[in-house]
Amino acid sequence: MLPSDHSSHHKAWAAQNGIALILVLWVLTLLTMIALEFSYAMRTELTLTRNLLDETKVYYLARAGLNKTVIELIKYNRMRLYRRGIPVVNEDRKGAGIEDEDKGHWGWIKTQEPYEVPWEDGKAWVQVRDEDGKININRARQAELVKLVTNSGVTGTERDIIVDSILDWRDTNNAHRLNGAEEDYYQALSPPYDCKDGQFDTIEELLFVRGVTPGVFYGSDYYRRKKIEKGEEEDAYKGLAHLITIYSSSDKINLNTAPQEVLETITGITPELAQLIMAYRKEKEFIHLTEVRDLVGERNYSLMVQQISVDPPTVYSLESTGQLDNSPVQRTIRSVIRLNPFAQNPVNYLYWKDSVWAG
pLDDT at res. 6: 54
Q: Residue 95 — pLDDT band, cuts 50, 70, 90?
A: very low
- Name the phi and psi angles at 223, rounded to 5: -110, 10
pLDDT at res. 333: 95
- Average pLDDT for residues 262-268, to the nearest whole number? 95
Q: What is the pTM of this model?
A: 0.77
Q: Is the peptide bond before 191 cis (omega within 30 degrees of 0)?
A: yes
**92 has pLDDT over 50:** no
Structural domains of the chain, with CATH = 1-133+311-359 (no CATH), 135-247 (1.10.40.60)
**359 has pLDDT over 50:** no
**122 has pLDDT over 50:** yes
Mean pLDDT, the chain, as a whole number?
A: 84
- Please state whether beta strands 135-136 and 244-245 pair in parallel, antiparallel, or not at all (unpaired): parallel
pLDDT per position as a tens digit, 318-341: 999 999 998 888 899 999 999 987
pLDDT per position as a tens digit, 68-84: 999 999 888 887 777 77
CB-neighbour burial class of residue 98 (10 A; exposed 0-12, middle 13-18, buried 19+): middle
- Average pLDDT for residues 202-225, to the nearest whole number? 86
pLDDT at res. 14: 57
CB-neighbour burial class of residue 282 (10 A; exposed 0-12, middle 13-18, buried 19+): exposed
